[in-house]
Structure 1
């Protein structure tokens, strides 16, 4: 899993080169990542500051196609993007790949004959449409439905009695129902009961709450394996440890034979896999497997795995910039990124978990208090994820080689790297 390159190719840090793009996961009933909604961001602060809807969408598309890249922004998943009436009428919409994007139309857009015809034409070209911010049933919504594939219902502003009515009246139309602004466990459970197909909101975007939906997986076995791998280990001892956990062996072999390793030939033997990959590679994947749950979701579809893998890669790339060619520090940075979310996996307080894990002092210090060089780098990673400009500045101030500009581009490079490794 380790990439010999230690830092992405970065352009010169001119202010006008800085680009920002927000994204929020959309998951299915199993919690598997299905899509991202791409959001306009005018700066590193995680807010929209939208003045003109057309300009905002144009910026989102330009940043996705040109600056960030579709792979970095979306991985293998579709992207949802807001479109105004003016944009739908513009030929520029034909530049959007219809197989990669869902066009979101706000509920308040007035549909007339011309717009109905335009939407029908775009649907014939392969586009799917989502109706956004729906809060109650109306004749206008009923008239729009023939041109809509997905209905996004705003749970935050939809009264409970309106929600029941909405779902009941929408069912005969066989539309995909997406619950948006799902911010609590109770809202999620209610939407599940009503039969929603897709979900979006802080309940899913913030990994701390994912623990409530996780099922048992061989996590303690993974911890034992990682402790074994942290020292000099004989191949036979490693093989015996893995054989004691058949489910873990299956996961590791599936990963070995994925395109992420590019071996060009299938590997069926556990010993051969160990010999080909080496203990470092196995250790890296075992760390990420801590975040995979018992539902056998592909790693690329597990929001928490994506989060942990991208953060760990950010840490490794940042360490490569700060301490070039220092392999032990790069490994420590990657491990710090992974284990900084371990409380989510086990549902236990971080201090108690760190006492059990007995990680190397610099890693433990970084996770406990965000102090030390690794701690500052971890703080930068978290600030980039939140789009918190002030926190990015503070974290980078203690790491002179890492400017806010470089940190933002390393964040994009980390997302792209992880998406490419997960592509099947």
Structure 2
């Protein structure tokens, strides 16, 4: 079973929910090319077992349903406050379906029309729908102005899907769209970057570079941290949140207790958290999920000797978007291995297959996932568990910074 998720934002770039993407196997990229009922039953069972709140938190879960599943009572196993029922564009519409959707809506479930291409005025489910989703690859924004205005006049929530650039996002906002789905939030906006974060990044880079030495010095790292009150506070806060009966009366003792390996992980995380303050929280969350998921992938593949490298590579995979700089500039001054640098900057080298697998997993491109899983020699049956555990771990890490 494969389970992934794609974030859905509101106009303020706050998370509204996640569309859950899943397949019972890797036969195809599209939901309708495999047994949708079987896949849906599998994922709902997995989500209920895992705890759906671990996957979507306090937000909404958008899930595609076919005719048979809409007509079943299994949907009602998930709380109506959490679940958004996405009606596939291929679903056969008849009297029974319409009555069932009306019933579910009365029970508090939101109804969404997926990949909407029909006539807004005549499509029979429109009056029941709360959310209309437009795939802007199938229906470009310029082509749906009239329908968008009609939807707004009827107080529908409209969602623009496949938003890949900030320009598309801004245009959709101007048109009146409420929700936005796509990876536009993880693309750098290189218009004229600022150096406002430079000093902070320099401090972190000095620590990371010291940690890369054959014999790192606690004294050197301590002096760097103690020169920045915000950084010192962050390190002590991390240590205070760890389950330990020890107390620390100095930065150095806290660092020694942490150890170089754990310190490097947290310095990387703290750096991203610090420099991404003006960015969507989801960007930080994405880097954490990728980092932990890549550890799982590496440890179960032919890259088991490179777990730490792979983890750092994926943690830094959104650094260009955070700093609004080309990746080569974002990584400037950091002592990274050739494999990590080539994968992040040139999208090539030994670690390329891991990047490709993880990015394909996020998109729900299961054929590509299978392709790169074969290359790196990992059993795809292990991926879903690792991905869900990574989501949970990322959520726990982010709680540290609240």
Per-residue CA distance 1:103-138 (angstroms, 9 max, x = gap) = 112467676665554334323433222122334653
Give the drift of 1:284: 2.9
TM (norm. structure 1) is 0.71
Equivalences for 1:69-108 in 2 at 5 Å?
70=52, 73-106=55-88
Which deviations, in whole Å up to 9, do the C-alpha atoms of 1:400-419 show, x marking residues without a partner? xx545445643443334324
Could you tell me how far apart the structure 1 residues matched to 2:193 and 2:239 are? 25
**SS of match in other structure, 2:59:** coil
Q: Distance in 1 between matches of 2:85 and 2:107?
A: 13
Query: 2: distance between equivalents of 1:167 and 1:250?
Result: 48
Greater mean alpha carbon deviation, residues 386-395 or residues 51-60: 51-60
Match of 1:358 in 2: 335
CA displacement, residues 316-362 of structure 1 (integer Å, 9 cap, x when unaligned): 34555679999xx6544432332344334334444455553223566
The 1:27–1:212 alpha-carbon spacing in structure 2 relative to 1, beyond 3 Å, is farther
Q: Paired residue for 2:201?
A: 222
Matched, 1:192 2:173: yes
CA deviation after TM superposition for structure 1 residue 39, in Å: 2.5
Q: Which ranges of structure 2 fall in alignment gaps of 5 or more residues?
A: none
Are residues 100 and 249 of structure 1, via their aligned partners in 2, closer, same or farther at CA, if it must alter by over 3 Å?
Answer: farther
Equivalent of 1:157 in 138, 156, 177: 138
User: Structure 1's 256 and 186: CA in aligned 2 closer, same or farther, altered over 3 A?
Assistant: same
Gaps of 5+ in 1: 1-18, 397-401
* 1:311 counterpart = 2:297: no
Q: Secondary structure at the match of 2:44?
A: helix
Among 134, 148, 151, the alignment partner of 1:170 is 151
Structure 2 equivalent of residue 241 of structure 1: 227
Deviation at 1:56, TM superposition (A): 4.3
Shift of 1:161: 5.8
1:336 counterpart = 2:313: yes
Q: 1:337-395 deviations in whole A, cap 9, x for unaligned?
A: 323443343344444555532235665466567556x6765565456555422222112
**Residue 80 of structure 1, CA deviation:** 0.5
Q: Structure 2 CA distance, aligned partners of 1:59 and 1:285? A: 36
1:126 paired with 2:108, answer yes
2-structure distance, mates of 1:157, 1:369: 28
1:197 Cα deviation from its structure 2 partner: 1.4
Q: Is the 8 A contact 1:211 1:345 kept in 2?
A: no
Is 1:26 aligned to residue 8 of structure 2? yes
The 2-side partners of 1:182 and 1:222 are apart by 30
RMSD: 4.5
SS of the aligned residue for 2:12 comes to coil
Aligned residue among 48, 59, 69 for 1:65: 48
How far does residue 47 in structure 1 lie from its aligned partner after superposition? 0.4
SS in 2 for 1:312: helix
CA shift, 1:81, in A, is 1.0
Q: Does the CA contact (< 8 Å) of 1:203 and 1:210 recur in 2?
A: no
Q: Distance in 1 between matches of 2:308 and 2:105?
A: 48
Pair 125,49 (structure 1): closer, same or farther in 2 beyond 3 Å = closer
